A and B are shown apart, each in its own frame.
Chain A
Amino acid sequence: MDIVSPGFTGRRRSGTELPPGQYLTHEFPVLSAGPTPHILPEHWEFTVTTETGEVHRWDWATFTSLPAEEITRDLHCVTRWSKLGTDWKGVSLDTLLADVETGADFAMAHSYGGYTTNLPLEDLLDGQAWIAYEYDGEPLNPEHGGPARLLVPHLYLWKSAKWVRGLVLSDTDDLGFWESVGYHEYGDPWKEQRYAGD
């Protein structure tokens, strides 16, 4: 141990094990880089663009008619709060990518408002990621990313792009919005991958 903070004893909160450096909250804090986009479902669409330029497209009606799943997961934000057992409803990326032919290894999620975040494609498959449109039994509100957001709960929450409008698949691992200003390119909370080089 390097140093001790004189007079600090801490307030250990017992019970659940959290990823390193996280603390538990029961609220649902909001963090975004700009104004909240307000997208009406009738104007919303979601696209998947492959590395060859092929575009797959869903509007709100076709998207919400896909088989949806109830999802209960813990959330971990890089700003150090964790919220446990959150309830969502959404469409699995396995469903959306089922008919997409690709050999790409990476995906860039794009959002209304211009936000981007990069992920390995394999982290979006096998029951690990959804496009969620309900939170706690209600339509997802704009502050939390409505009408629909990416949900990738095994990574820090900045990877779960709010107001998502598409994925662009690629052979190269380019950096998204926060990743290009110093945050970790992958963001595993259990390895505490907060910033570049962690």
Chain B
Amino acid sequence: MERTALRRRLTWQVGTVTEIRQETATARTLVVDVPDWPGHLAGQHLDVRLTAPDGYRASRSYSLASAWTGETIELTVEEVPDGEVSPYLVEVLKVGDPLEVRGPVGGWFVWRPEQAGPIQLIAGGSGVVPLMAILRAHAAAGGTPPAKLLYSVRRPTSVIYLSDLKEIAASDDVEVTFAYTREAPPGEPRVGRVDADLLDAITFTPKDEPTTYVCGPTPFVEAVADLLVAAGHDPARVKTERFGPTGGPR
């Protein structure tokens, strides 16, 4: 049954941009109304296709930032210097413009409300996007099971979803920790990469049997996933999504 459901054909659909939110100097969230969107799981991505007047096309994949509520979808795009699609999405696209999308795609890096065990989310940079979708789905599911987010960013101004994350952290359902790699806000003594001590101090232990979602640039994901396995986490419960300027789904 599941095979049939998952193997339906994905077709391109024309959505309309209904709202744009600037998240940081280089990232913004696009809210898109896609009339026939079939819904999605938190953590899935979609393809975006741009068409020039002469018919030239370029496509890329982006993570969905929103949990499905039956209305619009949201994607957050970080501008890749020298990129082809992301500069258009971050600088040119306007509210009211059409946007062609296809999805949802990917059934591995996802969280399902019926899934057992705590949720450990570990983000590097704009790798927070699919993890935000998971946090939103988690909130919609009533804030259970226990969940934690560790979010590694260069500096306070690099934080995407700052106000949403403050709200989530205040709700007591989710523990949110920032790790600043270049510059920390006043009163935050630690500046540095995620390491074994930090993971040990603030993440769920292997005994808690969390499902861990790690998303970020390849070197970040490699390092964190290796540390988790070394700390005794079952590799089968560590789900990763890697991306770089030319790499994965972003």
**Which chain A residues have a beta carbon within 8 Å of chain B's beta carbons?**
1-12, 21, 23, 25, 27, 29-37, 79-81, 113-114, 143, 175, 177-178, 180-182, 195-198
Contact = CB atoms under 8 A, between A and B. Distances in A.
Contacts of A9: 52-53
B247 A29 contact: yes
12 contacts: A8-B88, A10-B58, A23-B84, A32-B240, A33-B239, A34-B239, A35-B235, A80-B60, A81-B246, A182-B6, A182-B107, A198-B10
A30 B108 contact: no
B236 A31 contact: no
B238 interface: yes
Contact of B56 (A2, A10, A113, A175): A10
Contacts of B59: 21, 80
Contact of B3 (A21, A32, A143, A180): A180
A102 to B, nearest CB: 26
A181 B210 CA distance: 22
Contacts of B228: 35
A180 B245 CA distance: 27
Nearest to A22: B59
B106 interface: yes
Given A2-B100, A29-B244, 11 more contacts: A5-B50, A5-B93, A34-B235, A35-B226, A35-B238, A37-B235, A175-B3, A181-B106, A182-B10, A196-B8, A198-B9
A176 B243 CA distance: 22
A114 B3 CA distance: 20
Nearest to B227: A35
Interface in B228-250: 228-229, 235-236, 238-240, 242-249
Interface residues of B, number: 52
Interface in B174-189: none
Interface of B: 3, 6-10, 12, 14, 50-53, 55-61, 84, 88, 92-94, 97-100, 105-109, 218, 222, 225-226, 228-229, 235-236, 238-240, 242-249
A32 B238 CA distance: 11
Contact of B225 (A8, A36, A80, A196): A36
B97 A6 contact: yes
B9 to A, nearest CB: 3
Given A34-B225, A195-B10, A23 B58 contact: yes
A32 B215 CA distance: 11
Contacts of B248: 29, 31, 79
Nearest to A35: B225
Contacts of B88: 5, 7-8
Contact of B109 (A1, A29, A33, A80): A33
A182 B106 contact: yes
B240 A3 contact: no
A5 B88 CA distance: 9
A29 B246 contact: yes
A182 B46 CA distance: 12
A33 B240 contact: yes
A6 B94 contact: yes
A143 B55 contact: no
A126 B57 CA distance: 35
A12 B6 CA distance: 34
A31 B61 contact: no
A196 B78 CA distance: 28
A5 B226 CA distance: 42
A37 to B, nearest CB: 7
Given A25-B246, A81-B247, A182 B105 contact: yes
A3 B51 contact: yes
